[in-house]
């Protein structure tokens, strides 16, 4: 039998398997991430299921370490609560990438089985283990029953011949394989790797190559562990493992020989990891940012390579370099070895351990038109942001960050990284329009919100702060104010909002004013305002008036009444009840700003 067939039989009730067989496999470690962990728990709760073996079950928070996104934070806390109540191990935001934790802590080991909501769980091939990324329902089933069904894959054996050129990194090795096999020639296959260069690969290098099995369409890339790897695992976990090897007469779908002496330093073009070219063909392309990290290249050896290039150098002016170690252990090791100091002196941003760029993580994302060179494993459109992402090795990324353009360590030219003017901002220059007379008396239906201290997070929550187009803001108005979550759907243009004291307390976000403008709300009346909020409203030419508590009684005001407000006199007329009262009128500076359409009008 092949390696995968042996591991499957050892974890099933059958003594032998063949490709295409479907068998139930016992899972030694079942992990769920912050990305899908909450869904896994919801599946269990919805179906009345309990965790089969909490000792073999864990959460790993690596997609968004820090909970910098509100939805991630909510999911993470939900999972924390479930873990506490069910005795489940939880590797929190301070620990790093779950698959790397599994290797370093011995949760996965040679010959074992590992499942995660991470599509790169097949990184376990680096230690000769079976690892698979699966969907939320599969993981929930593994948590509840301890096993899942699996189709035995075909096995392919690749033997690497020749000497690997000295400048070829593990990432180059993986990109060369992608160049040879593309995204589907190894599809749904278990691939075993052999040869002298394979024997010489360190654990970190094996992790880099194995982590890109998914990009090749393979089930897994399996490295048979040698004594050096077993020694390294023993150093990390304090355990000596007995690996699983293929039989000499194992049957393979295909046996492939590859000469590694022809391998080149490669780079993946934006959009597809398998769209590879030699780095020489794209040298000189200017970059805006660079990223070193991910489950592919966040190990200590990767950081050492980057530091050797960045030492006594500076990141090019106008370029941002972001670095994320894969685990907290590696972060601390980099700190002790002085690597963090080198990164900071070079001008890099170093984050806490985690995946970073993938899955809308806390670091590594880029913006539209931004050109990034990254050590990540994927550069699908939108995967690491809205810009263009080239995939490369840590040495190429570090070298490019210093140069300001794509290059290699032996070809960093000291040039001033100048960026051509695009004139893209010319379209924002205002078109001079004929000045329109602004109405100083308005009439509308009242929203009477009897609440004090409505803060800016209630008005326009911080999860929407990246929105800069005012036309998109209205829909989120008050969606974090209890009882008024549907305000934006019900409000009509011309409506008037009447609230209590300290309206707009909290942050300085302009969106908390602009969202009302976007909805067409014509005026806000409040007993008092947060100081910054009042300034923001006045500067945006959005009418805000202050009233005294007696005004509401004098007007006999109630929900849905129609009122008329004169900004210049402060007169407020309740048309519905035929009552009149006074608010504080616009002061002179407010009047001037309002009439010219805003502070910058």
Looking at residue 333, which CATH number applies to its domain? 3.30.499.10
Dihedral pair phi/psi, residue 366, rounded to 5°: -125, 165
- Are 380 and 476 in a shared domain? no
Helix (H, G, I), strand (E, B) or coil at 497: strand
Higher model confidence: residue 109 or residue 75?
A: 109
Q: How many structural domains is the chain composed of?
A: 3
Calculate mean pLDDT across residues 345-355: 94
Same domain (yes/no): 398, 451: no
Using CA atoms in the order 217, 220, 221, 223, what is the torsion angle rounded to 10 degrees? 180
pLDDT in tens, 35-47: 789 999 999 999 9
The answer to the question of residue 342 being in a domain is yes
Question: Are 456 and 572 within 8 A, CB to CB?
Answer: no
**C-alpha distances out from residue 97 to 42, 54, 115, Å:** 23, 20, 14
Domain membership of residue 271 (yes or no) is yes
Q: Give domain status of residue 586, yes or no.
A: yes
Residue 418 lies in a domain: no
Instruction: Give me the residues paired with residue 192 across strands.
Output: 157, 222
The string of pLDDT tens digits covering residues 318-329 is 999 999 999 999
> For residue range 139-158, what is the model confidence (pLDDT) as tens digits?
999 999 999 999 999 999 99
248 and 298 part of one domain: no
Domain residues for 374?
266-411
> Are 249 and 314 part of one and the same domain?
no
The verdict on residue 600 lying in a domain is: no
Q: Which residue has the tokens 């990432």?
A: 171
Read off the pLDDT of residues 486-531 as tens digits, 9 standing for 90 and up. 999 999 999 999 999 999 998 889 999 999 999 999 999 999 999 9
Strand, coil or helix: 311:
coil
User: So what's the pLDDT on residue 279?
Assistant: 95
Q: Are residues 258 and 272 in the same domain?
A: no
- Is there a domain that residue 317 lies in? yes
From CA 77, how far away is CA 366, in angstroms rounded? 27
Are 40 and 66 members of one domain?
Answer: yes
d(CA 508, CA 468): 15
Is the domain of 290 the same as that of 193? no
User: Same domain, yes or no, for 245 and 270?
Assistant: no
Q: Which of 394, 411, 428 is the last residue of a domain?
A: 411
Kindly report, residue by residue over 567-583, the tens digit of the pLDDT.
Answer: 999 999 999 999 999 99
Can you give the length of the chain in residues? 601
176 shares a domain with 207: yes
In a domain, 421, yes or no: no
Q: Are residues 477 and 572 in the same domain?
A: yes
Q: Strand 276-278's sheet: what is its strand order?
A: 276-278, 266-268, 388-391, 371-374, 289-292, 320-323, 349-350
CATH of the domain at 544: 3.20.19.10
Domain boundary among 262, 297, 322: 262
pLDDT at 435: 61
Of the listed ranges 298-312, 366-380, 429-443, 457-471, the least confidently predicted one is 429-443
Kindly state whether residue 276 falls inside one of the protein's structural domains: yes
Domain identity same for 276 and 185? no
The residue out of 227, 262, 297 marking a domain boundary is 262
304 and 388 share one domain: yes
């Amino acid at each position: 039998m092949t390696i995968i067939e042996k591991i499957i039989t050892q974890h099933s009730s059958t003594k032998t398997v063949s490709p295409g067989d479907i068998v139930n496999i016992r899972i030694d470690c079942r992990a769920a991430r912050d990305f899908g962990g909450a869904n896994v728990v919801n599946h269990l709760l919805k179906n009345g299921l309990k965790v089969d073996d909490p000792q073999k079950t864990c959460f790993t928070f690596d997609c968004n370490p820090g909970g910098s996104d509100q939805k991630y934070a909510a999911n993470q806390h939900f999972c924390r609560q479930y873990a506490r109540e069910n005795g489940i191990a939880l590797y929190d935001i301070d620990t790093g990438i779950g698959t790397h934790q599994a290797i370093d802590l011995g949760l996965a080991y040679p010959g074992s089985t590992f499942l995660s909501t991470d599509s790169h769980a097949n990184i376990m091939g680096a230690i000769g283990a079976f690892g698979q990324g699966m969907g939320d329902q599969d993981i929930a089933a593994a948590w509840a029953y301890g096993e899942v069904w699996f189709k035995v894959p075909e096995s392919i054996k690749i033997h690497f011949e020749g000497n690997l050129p000295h400048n070829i990194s593990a990432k180059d090795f993986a990109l060369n394989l992608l160049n040879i096999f593309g995204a589907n020639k190894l599809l749904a296959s278990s691939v075993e790797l052999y040869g002298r260069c394979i024997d010489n690969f360190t654990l970190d290098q094996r992790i880099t190559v194995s982590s890109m099995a998914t990009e090749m369409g393979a089930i897994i890339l399996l490295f048979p562990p040698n004594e050096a790897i077993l020694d390294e695992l023993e150093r990390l976990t304090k355990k000596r493992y007995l690996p699983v090897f293929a039989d000499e007469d194992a049957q393979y779908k295909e046996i492939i020989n590859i000469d590694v002496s022809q391998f080149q330093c490669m780079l993946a073009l934006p959009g597809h990891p398998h769209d590879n070219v030699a780095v020489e063909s794209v040298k000189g392309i200017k970059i805006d940012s660079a990223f070193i990290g991910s489950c592919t290249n966040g190990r200590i050896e990767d950081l050492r390579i980057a530091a050797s290039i960045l030492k006594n150098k500076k990141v090019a002016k106008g370029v941002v370099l972001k670095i994320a170690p894969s685990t907290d252990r590696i972060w601390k090791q980099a700190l002790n070895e002085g690597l963090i100091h080198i990164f900071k002196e070079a001008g890099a941003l170093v984050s806490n351990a985690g995946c970073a760029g993938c899955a809308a993580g806390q670091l590594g994302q880029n913006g539209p038109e931004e050109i990034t060179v990254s050590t990540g494993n994927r550069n699908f459109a939108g995967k690491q942001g809205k810009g263009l992402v080239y995939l490369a090795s840590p040495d190429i990324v570090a070298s490019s960050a210093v140069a300001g353009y794509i290059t290699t360590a032996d070809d960093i030219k000291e040039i001033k990284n100048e960026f051509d003017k695009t004139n893209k901002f010319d379209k924002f220059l205002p078109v001079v329009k004929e000045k329109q007379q602004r109405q100083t008396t308005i009439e509308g239906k009242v929203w009477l919100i009897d609440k004090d201290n409505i803060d800016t997070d209630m008005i326009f929550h911080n999860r929407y702060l990246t929105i800069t187009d005012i036309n998109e803001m209205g829909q989120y108005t008050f969606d974090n104010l209890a009882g008024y979550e549907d305000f934006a759907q019900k409000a009509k243009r011309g409506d008037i909002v009447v609230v209590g004291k300290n309206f707009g307390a909290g942050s300085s976000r302009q969106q908390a004013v602009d969202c009302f403008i976007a909805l067409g709300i014509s005026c806000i009346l409040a007993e008092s305002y947060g100081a910054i909020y009042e300034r923001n409203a006045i500067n945006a030419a959005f009418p805000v008036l202050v009233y005294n508590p007696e005004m509401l009684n004098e007007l006999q005001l109630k929900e849905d009444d129609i009122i008329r407000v004169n900004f210049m006199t402060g007169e407020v007329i309740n048309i519905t009840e035929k009552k009149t009262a006074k608010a504080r009128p616009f002061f002179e500076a407010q009047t001037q700003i309002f009439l010219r359409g805003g502070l910058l009008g």
